[in-house]
């Protein structure tokens, strides 16, 4: 088959998957659209364990082996450790000046993030916390989200909780933000009128083009991750943006209120799973 025809075939295949899901979902959207605030929750297509089984069957140990041979995220992690111990800003401090040599006072801290912060009256992620400390405690400039140094520091802080179970609370003032995050996950948007849950809850374990769609439990335990497709390390929020672009939805800015609430929701779904950074993904 020549290249043009192959490309056309791929486009047709991609469209057909979308059309099938769109037509199945159309009925649901009419029903769900009638009351804006009410969420019609889906029953997960499969259990997280069944998803793991299908993942192994589909990809084998390829990703695991590649990660073992060398995860480029490990180099970034080392740079993050160095940054943590470097003085920056007008107050002549490093992160380690307050949080201890080798971040000893932050061991386990990342397991409780994202969390409510009374000062911003909203949800703070690890990324946001780091910038708050830089500005307020160090007199240093906030790091640009998704820049190398920002990801490196986030990676280092999270690595201090590696192997520890995620333990995010949605009690008290965090509750309403969790509900907003969940509403976002179920909100239909974009040209295809999709929501996140259709794919990652209702059709988890099914195929979308050449991809096995993942189960949402486990989405938040391995970021920042190195992704082959990016050829770089990126954050969970970069992934949010990617999925929104793929479904023809306008992506939102990093650390926007919506994405912080969404991160809280998805991290809560992963409660109990151990943090494992840097992740490695296709
Ligand atoms: C001058 C002292 C100081 C410096 C320097 C500092 N922090 Fe903090 N940090 C704090 C204080 C105080 C808190 C707790 C109150 C708050 O949330 O601001 C905190 C909270 C945190 C937390 C959350 C801990 C928890 O258990 O909730 C993290 C993570 C953190 N800092 C990371 C960093 C990083 C990374 C740097 C360097 C970029 C840094 N901090 C620099 C004082 C500091
Ligand atoms: C049309 C189906 C579809 C929709 C809708 C969709 N995604 Fe995805 N998503 C995928 C596919 C395919 C992948 C790549 C394979 C995988 O890990 O599932 C992916 C990957 C992800 C990952 C990475 C998982 C990991 O462990 O590395 C996250 C996080 C994610 N999506 C979040 C979202 C969010 C948030 C939304 C809604 C804004 C969304 N997705 C909407 C299909 C979808």
Q: What is the pLDDT of residues 82-107, one digit of tens each?
A: 999 999 999 999 999 999 999 999 99
Q: Residue 24: is its pLDDT beyond 60?
A: no
- The structure tokens listed for 96 are 């380690």
Report pLDDT digits (tens) over 200-219: 999 999 998 888 999 999 99
For β-strands 225-227 and 211-212, DSSP reports them as unpaired
- Global pTM value: 0.90
Sign of CA dihedral 167, 170, 171, 173: positive
| Phi-psi category of residue 277: left, alpha or beta, with phi > 0 → left and psi -120 to 50 → alpha | beta
Q: List the one residue out of 263, 279, 145 whose CA is nearest residue 223.
A: 279
67 lines ligand 1 (CB under 6 A): no
Q: Which atom of ligand 2 is nearest to the CA of 249?
A: 38
Report pLDDT digits (tens) over 221-243: 999 999 999 999 999 999 999 99
Domains defined along the chain, listed by start = 1-282 (1.10.760.10)
Q: Which atom of ligand 2 is nearest to the CA of 21?
A: 1
HSE value, Cβ hemisphere, 13 Å, CA-based, for 28: 18
Partners of 279 in the β-ladder: 225
Q: Residue 62: is its pLDDT beyond 60?
A: yes
CA angle 136, 138, 143 (to 5 degrees): 80
Pocket of ligand 2 (CB under 6 A): 194, 196, 198-200, 208, 211, 213-214, 219, 236, 239-240, 243-244, 247, 262, 281
Residues carrying an active site annotation: 243
Protein residue whose Cα sits closest to atom 37 of ligand 1 = 95
Per DSSP, 173 falls in state: G
């Amino acid at each position: 088959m020549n290249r043009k025809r192959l490309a056309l075939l791929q486009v047709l295949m991609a469209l057909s998957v979308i059309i099938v899901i769109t037509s199945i979902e159309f009925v649901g959207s009419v029903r769900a659209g009638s009351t804006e605030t009410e969420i019609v929750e889906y029953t997960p297509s499969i259990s997280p364990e069944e998803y793991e089984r299908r993942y192994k069957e589909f990809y084998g140990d390829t990703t695991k082996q590649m990660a073992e041979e060398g995860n480029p995220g490990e180099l970034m992690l080392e740079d993050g450790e160095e940054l943590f111990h470097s003085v920056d800003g007008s107050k002549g401090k490093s992160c380690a000046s307050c949080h201890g040599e080798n971040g000893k006072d932050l061991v386990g801290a990342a397991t409780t993030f994202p969390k409510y912060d009374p000062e911003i009256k909203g949800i703070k992620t690890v990324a946001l916390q780091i910038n708050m400390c830089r500005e307020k405690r160090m007199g240093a400039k906030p790091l640009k989200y998704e820049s190398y140094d920002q990801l490196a520091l986030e990676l280092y802080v999270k690595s201090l909780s590696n192997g520890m179970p995620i333990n995010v609370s949605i009690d008290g003032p965090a509750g309403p933000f969790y509900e907003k995050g969940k509403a976002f996950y179920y909100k239909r948007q974009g040209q295809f009128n999709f929501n996140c849950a259709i794919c990652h809850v209702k059709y988890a374990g099914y195929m979308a083009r050449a991809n096995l769609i993942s189960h949402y439990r486990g989405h938040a335990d391995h970021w920042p991750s190195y992704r082959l497709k990016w050829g770089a390390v990126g954050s969970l929020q970069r992934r949010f943006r990617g999925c929104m672009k793929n479904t023809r939805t306008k992506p939102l800015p990093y650390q926007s209120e919506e994405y912080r609430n969404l991160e809280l929701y998805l991290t809560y779904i992963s409660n109990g799973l151990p943090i494992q950074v840097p992740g490695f993904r296709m």
